[in-house]
Structures are given as structure tokens and as C-alpha cells.
Amino acid sequence: MKRINQTALLAVICALVLIIVLQGFAFSGARAASGVFGDVNGDGVVNIKDMLCIRDIIFGKEPLASVNPDAKTGATLFHQGLLPARIDRKWGYVDKTGEVVIQPEFDKAYPFASNGLALVIPDLNYDKNGSYKHGYINTQGEMVIEPIFDYADDFAENGLAAVSIYDEKEKRFLGGYINDKGEYAIQPRGDWSVRSFSENGLARVDFYNVNGQGHRVCYINEKGEFVLSLMFDVEFFLSPFSNGLAELEIESKRGFINEKGVFVIPAQYDDARSFSEYGLAAVKLGDKWGFIDKTGEFVIEPQYNYVWSGFGSTGIAIVGDSWTGEMRYIDKNGDTVLETEGAIFEFNNGLALGGGGYIDINGNTVISIDCECVAQGSWIVNNGVYGFYDDGYAICRVNGKDGVIDKKGNFVIEPMFEWLQYSYEHADLH
């Protein structure tokens, strides 16, 4: 890891010499807030971020203080105090000490939802319909919703779960939404495929071969009412809504629509990524990537060969020349915050995986530990979290076994499980 020279480095050095004067004017509020001399961004430490803040104010840029590597992800490793664990090829649940709380008796087991229920698959042997049965357990391991569903997903924050069941009479799958009692809140039907509700309170349902004309994508609310309908007679791609916009590809070009189905950014890009909570999206023109805001204006002009991740709540993106070559953390001005070689990971809760352990925003190795594989254990579907979660834990794999470490690098659960945190994305529901 190395910190590279920034633009106008000489100006930064000169600014440091004049810091007393500068603090007396532009930075008096920051100094008063932190009480640390030279601490421009108010984090209690004088470091590279303070120097870059000074540079940016001098040259009229938005300060790098908007970079927040300590930002929370909104995801915890333990749900309801429990974590899925695989033992002897079966899944159960352990607590924060590694003690088995729910015995390993499932072929698949997923994290508990906020309503205290977890999706499980007792048996992965396919039935005559080419599927296997899904049910839901409580934190005592009791099956409270029997495994009768051919496909199912986790409960969303609104308390509804998308499920599908094969109807012998109709000879097709019926998809609907159940509540935590296993009752249908939105009645099943056979002419659509269902997906989970997203954070905007809408769920996508798909109708195929509508009147022989094409594919209809609709969004429903929690009452099952249709709030948006889009008809396609050509090949398309439609992402989930993120920050109020969804990425839509039509005839090999991508743009963004709002929740009314209206293009607010025309389909003009060769590739694109969803808008993050930071309000920026990565888009590709020709063979170069850049970043746009929600008006479609380029904030960072196309110049990168590859984008590993866009701007999240940290205000940091990862870009580079190739998948495995030189990679850089950048701020929304396009300035390099940190540079490294090889694959690197996002900052979560102040730390990022890399350099033989976990590094801070200055590139310093804070935790020296060799985790063999974190991709399966530390990846949360739909949250995209590598490394440390908001509850201060991360999964670390040693000698083919998963354990859990804290932010000091100490194992709170020794590496003794085949896998922790089952994370493969569920198949699309019928």
C-alpha cells in the first residue's frame, strides 16, 4: 500500500505552514468542535484528510471531509443474536460465543429477519416438480411456517415474504406473499413471477408472453395494488430501484427511470451501475467509466478502465486499470485517496480488507491477519458488505474453517466451522 502525491502537493505543504492563519478563519469551527490543533475535518486526528481539506478549500474544490470511511453499512453479522453455521454438511445457528443454539439439521439456512423468522430448506432433494421445500423457523429452532413452498425468500422489512407453490390442479407455480403467520397477505396467482419487496415499499412482479406480445414488468405495493407497469417487446434489463431510480437497458443502451416509469436519464450508456445512497452512479461510454449525478451530469468524466465499486455511504469509490492490476480509492472529485495493487475491498466501519489484513483510510495495516476466504462468509446479498459489519464483527477463514474476529483482530469465535453465514442468492421465484 502507498499513498500517492496529490495534485498541487506543494500547495498543501505551504498551506500546512499557514495553518494557524487558516484555522483562525475557515477552520475555527472545526477546531472548536474537535479541540485538536490542525484537525480540519473534526475527527480528532491530524492526518492526510486534513491536508487534502486545506488543499481543496484553497483551490475551490469540495473538501475531502465528505469522505467518511467509518460510515455504517446498515448490516450486522448476527441477526437476532444468531449466525448460520455449517457443521458436518448441515446448517444450524450459533451465538456470539460460537455455542450451537439451533442444532444443524437443515440443508440450507439463512439469516434471521427483523421479525424473528429465518428461511430454511430441510432437504435439498428435488421433488417431482424440480424444486425443494422451504419453510421458516423461529429463534428457538421451531418450524413455525411449515416447509410447503417450492420457492421462497426472506421476509422483507414490511413483514412480507415472496413465496411460490406448485398447484397440481392448474399444473403451474402460483406466486404470492405471506405474513409471519404463513397466511397470504397478497393472494397467489399463476400468471406472474414474484420478487421480494425492496426498501421503497414496492415489489417487482413479471408477466411473460402477455397476449403474445412480450414481457410486462409491474411493481406492486403492500396491498398488492399495481403502481407501475412497463411493457417490453424487445430484450431488456431492469435493476431494482436504488435511490429512487432504476437502471433500464433497451436495445443495448442503458439509462435510468424513476418510480413512475419515466426516463429521467436517457438510455445512452454502454453500461451502468445503480445509483448509490451517495447519489452517484458509474456509467460507461465506449470503453471508459465515469460517474454521473441524478440529473445525468458527469461529476467525474469517463476515464477509468474498470470500476470495482461505486460511491456508497463512505463517499469513496474503487477504480482501476484492470480487475487485478493497480486499483485506487477516489473521492467524488476524482482525487485519489489511496492506491494499491491487486483486488481491494470497500471501506466498512473504518476498515477495508487488503494488505495482509485490514487497512485504514491512510493505508496503514490496522489488523494483521491472513483470512483465506471472505467472499462467501462476509458477503451479504443485497447489502454488498465485505469485512466488518456494523456490530463490529467479520468472518475470517483459516485452514479451511470459518471463525469470527472483532475489530482488534481477536477471534471471538475460533475458526472451526465449515462455513458461516450462508449467502448464495436465492433463485428467482416462479
Same domain, 102 and 168: yes
Count helices and strands (H / E) in the chain. 4, 34
Residue 78 lies in a domain: no
pLDDT per residue rounded down to tens, the chain (430 residues):
444 444 444 444 445 544 433 444 443 333 333 344 444 444 455 454 455 444 444 444 444 447 888 888 788 999 999 999 999 999 999 999 999 999 999 999 999 999 999 999 999 988 877 789 999 999 999 999 999 999 999 999 999 999 999 999 989 999 999 999 999 999 999 989 999 998 889 999 999 866 666 788 999 999 999 999 988 876 788 888 888 999 999 989 999 999 899 999 999 999 999 998 889 999 999 999 999 999 999 999 999 999 988 888 888 999 987 766 678 899 989 999 988 765 568 888 888 887 678 888 888 889 988 877 544 333 332 233 458 899 999 998 888 899 999 999 999 999 999 999 855 433 333 3
Q: Give pLDDT, residue 422.
A: 55
Same domain, 88 and 161: yes
Same domain, 267 and 204: yes
Q: Give pLDDT, residue 375.
A: 41
Last residue of a domain, one of 37, 66, 95: 66
Q: Which among 422, 390, 423 is positioned nearest to 407, based on CA atoms?
A: 390
Same domain, 59 and 95: no
Residue 285 lies in a domain: yes
Residue 273: alpha-carbon gap to chain centroid: 13
Domain CATH for 351: 2.130.10
Same domain, 45 and 108: no
Residue 32 lies in a domain: yes
Same domain, 249 and 101: yes
Q: What are the residues whose beta carbons fall under 8 Å from the beta carbon of 294, sequence distance 6 or more?
A: 243, 244, 245, 264, 265, 275, 279
- Helix segments in 282-408, DSSP class H: none
Residue 2 lies in a domain: no
Same domain, 53 and 133: no
Q: Give pLDDT, residue 8.
A: 44
What are the CA-CA distances from residue 244 to residues 8, 79, 113, 233, 345 (Å)? 37, 27, 24, 25, 26
Contact 100, 85 (CB under 8 A): yes
Same domain, 249 and 367: yes
Residue 167 lies in a domain: yes
Number of domains in the chain: 2
Last residue of a domain, one of 38, 66, 94: 66
Q: Which among 257, 267, 298 is positioned nearest to 280, based on CA atoms?
A: 298
Contact 221, 227 (CB under 8 A): yes
Contact 318, 333 (CB under 8 A): no
Same domain, 395 and 326: yes
Residue 426 lies in a domain: no
Same domain, 236 and 281: yes
Residue 74 lies in a domain: no
Q: Give pLDDT, residue 256.
A: 96
Q: Give pLDDT, residue 212.
A: 65
| Coil/strand/helix, residue 19 | helix
Residue 72 lies in a domain: no
pTM above 0.85, yes or no: no
Residue 363: alpha-carbon gap to chain centroid: 23
Same domain, 45 and 93: no
Joined together, the cell numbers standing for residue 196 give: 421480494
Same domain, 39 and 124: no
Domain span at residue 297 reads 83-420
Joined together, the cell numbers standing for residue 157 give: 422489512
CA atoms within 13 A on the CB side of 280: 24
